[in-house]
Amino acid sequence: MGKLLIIKTGASGESIKKVYGDHDERIIKKAGLNREKVAVLPVYKGHRPYLPDNVSSVIVTGSPSMVTDREPWSVETSDFIKEISHKNIPILGICYGHQLLADTFGGEVGYHKLGKESGKVDIKLRGAASLDPLLGSMPKSFKAYAFHEQTVTKLPANAKVLAGNGFEKNHAVAYRDNVWGVQFHPEFNENENENGESHGEMLLKRFVQIAG
């Protein structure tokens, strides 16, 4: 299996980092990977996005930034994602990353009409989720953590909704056969299943498995 490339689009607040670690650290831990199997690219600090050798999957993290601000690093990252999406490399966007994927492939992003969704929320699989390579491994209903005030207001053509709830209808979306976005944070989910894993851990490990 090749490396996981984490495209880091922002940093967590100091109080969160102190207890849980930053975005990339939480993802690495929940995905069950060794640090040497991961490359981290902090594009929000001005690092240009590129595809290192031996990368087999990509995760785009959450961020305190807003996709609609169209910061230069975000626009550059969007162009990069569009380019690598044709290489059959599995891509997963989380929160900001999910919204950036929607924007990249022709959808629309804006502030949620109901305001912020924050804390532990219910997630329910929808549509053909049971047949999806990534979401099909998840239970039909589970809890996850969400922290967002922007949302995907319009899906790109051919995108498939895989999960949602009463507040957020697009909590999980398949944008391409190898590209997914989740509005919730799987790297924060602490609810354990019968195997001692959190549901977020299940999803991230399944994503790495697909890439392998």
CA distance 176 to 66: 23
- 197 in active site: no
User: CB atoms < 10 A from the CB of 40, how many?
Assistant: 19
- Pair of tokens at residue 63: 């961020």
Given 98, 168, 171, 187, the catalytic residue: 187
Strand 150-154 to 108-111 pairing? antiparallel
Question: What separation in angstroms does the CA of 135 have from each of 18, 65, 129, 141, 144?
Answer: 30, 27, 6, 11, 14
CA distance 70 to 164: 26
- 95 in active site: yes
Given 95, 98, 117, 148, the catalytic residue: 95
Given 23, 98, 185, 199, the catalytic residue: 185
- Pair of tokens at residue 170: 């697009």
CA distance 73 to 89: 21
Please name the residues in contact with 160: beta carbons below 8 A apart, sequence gap of 6 or more. Answer: 127, 128, 132, 173, 174
> What are the catalytic residues?
95, 185, 187
